[in-house]
Amino acid sequence: MKPSPLQLEWLVYPAASFRARPTDAGIDGAIPVKVTAHVTYHLNAPHSIELSLSSDDDQAPAAPYVFEIEAVAAFTFELAQARAAYSSVPAAALPRVLAVNVARIVYSAARELLATFTARAPYGSVLVESVLIGPEDVKVTSVESQEKVLQELFKLDPTATAKKKATPRRKVKAAERTRRS
């Protein structure tokens, strides 16, 4: 086992609530959830994440609990360790990979808080569905310019990253298309 390149500096829950609904049925499986996450990189660490975990009434309107937890955390990362741990990931994707992984860590902590929080509630500890937080689920921003963050925090050349994205695909000549047919 290796140490993680991501380290939480602190984690707090500015708001947490649950309400048990009157119901004849006990918990029938995991309760669907909604998760939102927002990571902000700062040139001077620590960086921050805000995560919200709530019951999804659209998916389970008769769930025995309604709940919402807000989690806020500060984190740091060791760039060399992160590059080694995620060596299969392109360097330009590292900021998003770190953001997603810290969101997964904070989600797990919020889920466990909810289970503990409801342990003595009428229907026992809440069991929430397992979710896979992906890159599209985490909003990533920075206080300073993105170029400066990429250069100073991640040691990336933002112009090279932009050029790489802007490079058009090679056009296939008509003779090559004919040969492929």
Per-residue model confidence (pLDDT) at position 112: 95
What tens digit of pLDDT does each residue of 24-72 get?
A: 655 567 899 999 999 999 999 899 999 999 999 888 888 889 999 999 9
- Write the pLDDT tens digit of every residue in 123-149: 899 999 999 999 999 999 999 999 999
Residue 39: closest CA among 131, 114, 101, 109: 101
CA separation for the pair 143, 161 (Å, rounded)? 20
Closest among 12, 138, 16 to 65, alpha carbons compared: 16
Mention every residue, 6+ apart, whose C-beta is less than 8 A from residue 105.
6, 8
Check if the beta carbon of residue 82 is closer than 8 Å to that of residue 76. Answer: no
The pTM of the full predicted model, rounded to 2 decimals, is 0.84
pLDDT score of 177 more than 50: no
Q: Give 176: exposed, middle or buried? Use CB within 10 Å, 0-12, 13-18, 19+.
A: exposed
> What is the number of alpha carbons within 13 Å of residue 75 lying toward its C-beta?
27
